[in-house]
Amino acid sequence: MPGIDASANDQRPTTMLKAVRGTRDLLPPETALWNFVEAAVRDVFRAYNFHEIRTPIFEETQLFSRAVGEETDVVSKEMYTWEDRTRAESEKGQSLTLRPENTAGVVRAYIEHKLWDRGLNKLYYIGPQFRRERPQKGRYRQFYQIGAEMLGPATAGSESPARDAEILELLATLLDRLGIENWTLELNSIGCANDRAKYNEALRKALEPVAAKMCADCQRRAVTNPLRVFDCKVPEDQPIIEELPRISQYLDEPCRKHFEQVQEILNAVGVAVHVNDRLVRGLDYYTRTAFEFTHGALGAQNAILGGGRYDGLSEMLGGPSAPGIGFAIGEDRLVLALKENAEAVQPKPDVYIAPLGAGMDREAARLARELRRHDLIAELGDETFRLKKSFEVASKLGARFILIVGENEVKAGAFALKNLESGEQVSVARAELARKIQAGH
């Protein structure tokens, strides 16, 4: 390969390479918890008739700048963007970006494949997203989202407050199903484009005399996109932000009604809501309903998920009118909230098969194949191990049984099976092994 001189490697001291800052390896037993979470959410999505979509991990940069908004932190500071080095003339210099979120990609795919024609209007996804944020507990540069989007023509009822309530009820069900307690649903309506124009004007006016005392970002936002002032984390700016007008005073009648109806349905199905008229969300595509679920045990990064309605997004991306609502759960944060259970869901081997002496690897392999066909988790030892070592390995792995495979056992067609929890040891005929191990559960 040009530019890489293999011999130069020999001169260099060997330095240990580590995962890039903000990225991490997910290791067992935690990966079992991730699988548990993903299996449970797939079940819930199934019950609500959502279907899975997988969009590319990178897209054209303008997809995100148009959908999420130039002035948002995500687009202005956090995206991993590069100019493609392809030789194809038509693609030269194309600006590409690792997806920082998945709503834009899903809506792009919805438009590109005319999914409304196929009646596909409830889609979910599970996958990595990328944002160059300052890493801390619960905040990573590669993180995972479990998300869903429900969108379609207004004639199909996609604007209805019943859809908002259905999404929020789904989320309450999901968190309950996973055993997550103590979550709070923070709910707001940020109105439609009309309301927002009025609200932005009011914010601009209110910011005029105070902007000079605020951080550089806020000074810029006060002019370009005043709503984004609410994303500010600078402590000194917070008293000023606290005094700014609230969106709730600017909702028109249809938006106010929509918001009320969402709450009425949630009330009817028993989902508790905390109305928070300071919640505006950090992405520009939202209209009307905006929400976050927070969880006390997560510390500073306490938003376990966020979402809302995005009625104009499809048009913004060149598509037809397709009002929609969706959410994304931070899977890393969900797993953090569940972490205490990590050991409990890590499956342990049912049986450790210990071949004893030359030629026994073969026999052990045959037995492992038979037992695994019965859905048992079998871990294979090695014929070079002494019996003592096999016992040590089996107990380190947490195996429930150890099965001894020596020449005598093979000849007799019966094997020593020891229950490592109770210490009981029995001789079991080959045909009976699976049943005996299963019965020992």
Q: How far is the CB of 39 from ligand HAM (least distance, A)?
A: 20
In which region does residue 207 sit, left (phi positive, over 0), alpha (psi from -120 to 50) or beta (all else)?
alpha
Contact with ligand HAM (CB under 6 A) among 191, 326, 349, 381:
326
Q: How far is the CB of 399 from ligand HAM (least distance, A)?
A: 35
Binding of ligand HAM at residue 349 (CB under 6 A)? Answer: no
**Residue 131 touches ligand HAM, criterion: CB under 6 A:** yes
* Residue 161 binds to ligand HAM (criterion: CB under 6 A): no
Position 101 contacts ligand HAM (CB under 6 A): yes
To ligand HAM, the closest distance from the beta carbon of 72 in angstroms equals 9
CB of 171 to ligand HAM, least distance (A): 11
CB of 139 to ligand HAM, least distance (A): 4
Residue 170 binds ligand HAM, judged by CB under 6 A: no
Select the residue interacting with ligand HAM from 170, 280, 304, 336 (CB under 6 A). 304
Q: Which of 157, 134, 176 is nearest to 41 (CA)?
A: 176
Report the amino acid identity of residue 6.
Answer: A
CA distance 109 to 288: 23
Residues forming beta bridges with residue 289, ordered by sequence position: 189
Among 305, 338, 364, 404, binds ligand HAM (CB under 6 A): 305
**What are the CA-CA distances from residue 348 to residues 9, 195, 343, 345, 377 (Å)?**
41, 57, 10, 9, 7
Pick the stretch among 11-19, 143-151, 398-406, 430-438 that binds ligand HAM (CB under 6 A). Answer: 143-151
Handedness of CA 290, 295, 301, 305 (dihedral sign): negative
Distance CA 38, CA 157 (A): 29
Closest to ligand HAM by CB, 74 vs 360, is 74
Piece of 114-122, 141-149, 179-187, 376-384 that binds ligand HAM (CB under 6 A): 141-149
Does residue 303 interact with ligand HAM by CB under 6 A?
yes
Q: Does 145 bind ligand HAM (CB under 6 A)?
A: yes
Nearest distance in Å: CB 132, ligand HAM = 9
CA angle (29, 174, 33) in 5-degree steps? 0
CA geometry: angle 331, 336, 340, nearest 5 deg: 135
233: nearest Cα among 282, 160, 288, 173: 282
Q: Which is nearer to ligand HAM, 140 or 352 (CB)?
A: 140
**According to the binding rule CB under 6 A, does residue 228 interact with ligand HAM?**
no
306 binds ligand HAM (CB under 6 A): yes
Q: Which residues bind ligand HAM (CB under 6 A)?
A: 101-103, 131, 133, 138-140, 143, 145, 147, 149, 282-283, 303-308, 326-328, 330, 332-333
